Amino acid sequence: MTTSNPGTGSVDPDVRQELDRLRDSIDNIDAAVVHMLAERFKCTQQVGRLKALHKLPPADPARESRQIDRLRSLAENAKLDPAFAEKFLNFIIAEVIRHHERIAEDTHNGQPAQQD
Ligand SMILES: C=C(O[C@@H]1C=C(C(=O)O)C=C[C@H]1O)C(=O)O
């Protein structure tokens, strides 16, 4: 995280205004991403509990492969680098699978699955 940046201290007021306007939008987008990710994790936690109860494996590579194909295509249409979109999805899925493994362990050890 950058805490200070002397390079933008004495900038032209019009440039400063444009920078602030763009950064306001970036902050709104970052907030939306966080909220959307939180909702996604709420869903995946429920999937994890369902899988654990029915002794299904935490990961589903066939489903992941379909998601990656779909996301790459969405990214291309949106002019976003598809390789970046794929890496981003894989990063999230890896975390979800870790959650599912933990939920499965807890469930099979007789501990109540965490609610969130
Ligand atoms: C959420 C699931 O579990 C895992 C996580 C996925 C995801 O985060 O989208 C997709 C497939 C699974 O490997 C699922 O099976 O749907």
pLDDT digits (tens, 9 = 90+) for 72-92: 999 999 999 999 999 999 999
11 lies in some domain: no
Phi-psi region of 79 (alpha: psi -120 to 50; beta: other; left: phi over 0): left
Residue closest via CA to ligand 1's atom 7 equals 93
CA dist 76 and 85 (Å) reads 9
pLDDT tens, residue by residue, 17-50: 999 999 999 999 999 999 999 999 999 999 999 9
Please give the model's pTM, rounded to 2 decimal places: 0.88
Domain count, the chain: 1
Tell me which residue of 63, 26, 36, 65 sits closest to 47, measured CA to CA: 63
Q: Residue 61's domain is classified under what CATH number? A: 1.20.59.10
Please tell me the residue having the least CA distance from ligand 1 atom 1: 44
Which residue is closest in CA terms to ligand 1's atom 3? 59
Structural domain of 65: 20-108
User: Which residues are CB-neighbours of 37 under 8 A, at least 6 positions away?
Assistant: 92
| Tokens 């763009």 belong to residue | 22
